[in-house]
Amino acid sequence: MTTPPPPLLSEATIIDRVDQLAAEIDRDYSGIDELVLVGVLKGSFIFLSDLARRLTIARRIEFIAVSSYGDRASEEAGGSVRLLMDVRHDLAGEHVLIVEDIVDTGHTLAYLRRAFSARQPATLRTCTLLHKPDRTEEDVELDYVGFTIPDVWVVGYGLDFAERYRTLPYVAALPPELR
């Protein structure tokens, strides 16, 4: 086992920000019946679990899975994204918040925004823990952003490199020698 990379965002820094985001979301959605949090697997699972537990409004959890960088073909095709697993409920009339780990090119979230708005939810917003604006090609609306980071490959707190480092408790920039 190699030595884990040092933190870019410490556990305490992340949790402070997740607290703030939860407070903001609580405020913005106060008075609604229920918020449907749609986590994008696998990367968002830790962020979603921390965020969801800090909310006080009524909420429900759903998960979806999309094709990602594992398959290089999707990148070469100019960012065509595929839904590999869908939610199990009709989202018409629901308040939907898509929860992502990171927005890189923006293709995934732009695709999800289009796909989910077609289902006619009452409201549709997006929340991402991380955003790499230097890499973003598609102008996608981000309603809640945890941290803006430089163009580096990050791992931990749900994010992986070839399925490694996903359960590091903090976010680290992966040094080239660990790739």
Query: Which residues sit at the interface with Mg ion, rule CB under 5 A?
Result: 40, 43, 101
104 catalytic, yes or no? yes
User: Per the structure block, which two tokens stand in for 169?
Assistant: 């408790």
Instruction: Name which position in 8, 91, 154, 168 contacts ligand IMP (CB under 6 A).
Output: 154
Catalytic hit among 104, 143, 151, 160: 104
Helix axes 45-54, 11-28, angle to 10 degrees: 60
Three-state DSSP at 141 gives: coil
How far, in Å, CA of 108 to CA of 66, rounded?
Answer: 8
Q: Does 106 bind ligand IMP (CB under 6 A)?
A: yes
Residue 141 identity (one-letter amino acid): E
- Look at residue 147 and give the partner it binds from Mg ion, ligand IMP, none, a contact being a CB closer than 5 to 8 Å depending on partner kind: none
How far, in Å, CA of 37 to CA of 48, rounded?
Answer: 8
Instruction: Name which position in 103, 129, 168, 172 contacts ligand IMP (CB under 6 A).
Output: 103
Choose between 11 and 69: whose C-beta lies nearer to ligand IMP: 69
Instruction: Name which position in 50, 62, 94, 100 contacts ligand IMP (CB under 6 A).
Output: 100
The residue written with tokens 């106060």 in the block is 30
Q: Does 126 bind ligand IMP (CB under 6 A)?
A: no
How far, in Å, CA of 10 to CA of 105, rounded?
Answer: 24
Instruction: Name which position in 153, 164, 166, 178 contacts ligand IMP (CB under 6 A).
Output: 153
